């Protein structure tokens, strides 16, 4: 591939920062980097390939000469600025939800449907992080035995809500750990029955999340639909249908934020058309692209966020049948949602072009 002029829109965000790191790590041929962000980041710079690159404001005229534009600045900005990038001659890989369900726009996980990039008309969409992390290990099982149903519960890291969300978790922890009610003595004292919700910490600073995240978790990621499901949960259904090219798979998700900095985990329960025993599943998955099998309970080896952080692969373990029901395969997976769930997947799409 000849070196390209590459723009990153949202270059100072959690995913944008990882896009820069991934372009470096994978030695993507960058002729010139254009770092774009909102007006309030102008004056900052980002580090890329040993140099400080000044951040410019993301505008309609930001894309002159740009050949590849990686967007991760939210759906509103993608809708506003991606068409301008395309009009300037760039190919856009968009990490937001803006174009994912557009029938004209390919939605691509390179391990699953790389051929879809060929049909692009200027924009290629990067799926939601939780979808990607589920799709990478489920696809090889689907190819082998046709997945008919997926029931998934997630354990999602704070950084999925952006850089500020990591800082929010950190600050809340520092604050709470300094309070007497979180001292070792207080934790050990017991509390009996109380109705004053003593562990809803009073006066805790909070900007990003709807509730305290330190020592807590909540089944709330993205907005709620009137039907009671979350945007994050519906993305799992619709995006997987589009990526797999099979909307007959029944999918139900419950998405939950947990007090972890990086890497999403998912408890995945599959029903397949043909039965797949755990041994066969391990064989299939140990050779599957983008997957690392980590499944040895005798050595306490299974996927965890601290193993997945910084890794390109989605980790898969706890592979089991369900003794009560035929044709079931359960697994526990973990993947770095800023990398394979976002920045890495986007750069892999760019590499396919």
Instruction: Tell me the closest approach of the beta carbon of residue 297 to its own copies, in angstroms.
Output: 4
DSSP category for residue 261: S
d(CA 3, CA 235): 34
CB atoms under 10 Å from CB of 129, counted, come to: 27
**Between the CA of residue 101 and those of 124, 145, 171, what are the distances in Å?**
11, 26, 37
Give residues 81-110 in contact with its own copies (rule: CB under 8 A): none
Give residues 176-195 in contact with its own copies (rule: CB under 8 A): 177, 182, 184, 187-195
Judged by CB, which is closer to its own copies: 2, or 325? Answer: 325
Among 4, 21, 120, 142, binds its own copies (CB under 8 A): 21
Give residues 209-248 in contact with its own copies (rule: CB under 8 A): 210-212, 215-220, 224, 227-229, 237
Residue 207 in the binding site for its own copies (CB under 8 A) = no
Q: Please pick, among 129, 199, 220, 307, the residue that the annotation labels catalytic.
A: 129
d(CA 295, CA 303): 8
Give residues 249-268 in contact with its own copies (rule: CB under 8 A): 250-252, 254, 256, 258-263, 265, 267
DSSP letters, 171-184, are HHHHHHHTSGGGSH
Piece of the chain touching its own copies by CB under 8 A; list 51-59, 61-69, 90-98, 153-161: 153-161
Give residues 301-330 in contact with its own copies (rule: CB under 8 A): 302-307, 309-312, 317-320, 322-325, 328, 330
Question: Going by DSSP bridges, is the β-strand pair 30-37/51-57 parallel, antiparallel, or unpaired?
Answer: parallel
Judged by CB, which is closer to its own copies: 82, or 157? Answer: 157
d(CA 185, CA 199): 15
Sorted by sequence, the CB contacts under 8 Å of residue 97 that are 6+ apart come out as 75, 128, 231, 235
Residue 264 annotated as catalytic: yes
Catalytic residue numbers read 129, 264
């Amino acid at each position: 591939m000849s070196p390209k002029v590459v723009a990153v829109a949202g270059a100072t965000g959690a995913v944008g920062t990882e896009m820069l790191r991934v372009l470096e790590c994978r030695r993507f041929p960058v002729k010139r980097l254009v770092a774009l962000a909102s007006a309030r980041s102008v004056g900052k710079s980002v580090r890329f390939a040993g140099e400080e690159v000044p951040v410019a404001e993301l505008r309609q005229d930001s894309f002159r000469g740009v050949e590849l534009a990686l967007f991760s600045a939210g759906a509103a900005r993608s809708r506003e600025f991606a068409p301008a990038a395309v009009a300037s001659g760039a190919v856009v890989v968009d990490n937001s939800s803006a174009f994912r369900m557009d029938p004209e726009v390919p939605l691509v996980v390179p391990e699953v449907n790389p051929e879809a990039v060929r049909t692009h008309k200027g924009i290629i969409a990067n799926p939601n992080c939780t979808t990607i992390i589920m799709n990478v290990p489920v696809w090889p099982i689907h190819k082998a035995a046709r997945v008919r149903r997926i029931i998934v519960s997630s354990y999602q890291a704070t950084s999925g809500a952006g850089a500020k969300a990591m800082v929010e978790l950190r600050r809340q922890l520092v604050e709470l750990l300094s309070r007497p009610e979180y001292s070792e003595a207080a934790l050990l004292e017991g509390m009996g029955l109380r109705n004053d919700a003593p562990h809803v910490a009073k006066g805790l600073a909070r900007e990003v999340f709807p509730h305290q995240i330190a020592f807590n978790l909540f089944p709330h990621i993205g907005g709620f639909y009137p039907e009671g499901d979350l945007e994050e949960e519906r993305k799992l259904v619709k995006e997987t249908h589009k990526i797999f090219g099979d909307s007959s798979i029944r999918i139900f998700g419950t998405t939950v934020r947990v007090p972890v900095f990086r890497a999403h985990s998912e408890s995945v329960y599959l029903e397949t058309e043909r039965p797949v025993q755990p041994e066969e599943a391990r064989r299939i998955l140990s050779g599957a692209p983008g997957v690392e099998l980590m499944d040895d309970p005798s050595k306490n080896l299974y996927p965890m966020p601290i193993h997945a952080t910084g890794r390109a692969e989605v980790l898969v373990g706890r592979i089991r049948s369900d003794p009560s029901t035929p044709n079931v395969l359960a697994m526990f997976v973990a993947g770095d949602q800023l990398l394979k769930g976002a920045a890495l997947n986007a750069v892999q799409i760019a590499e396919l072009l």
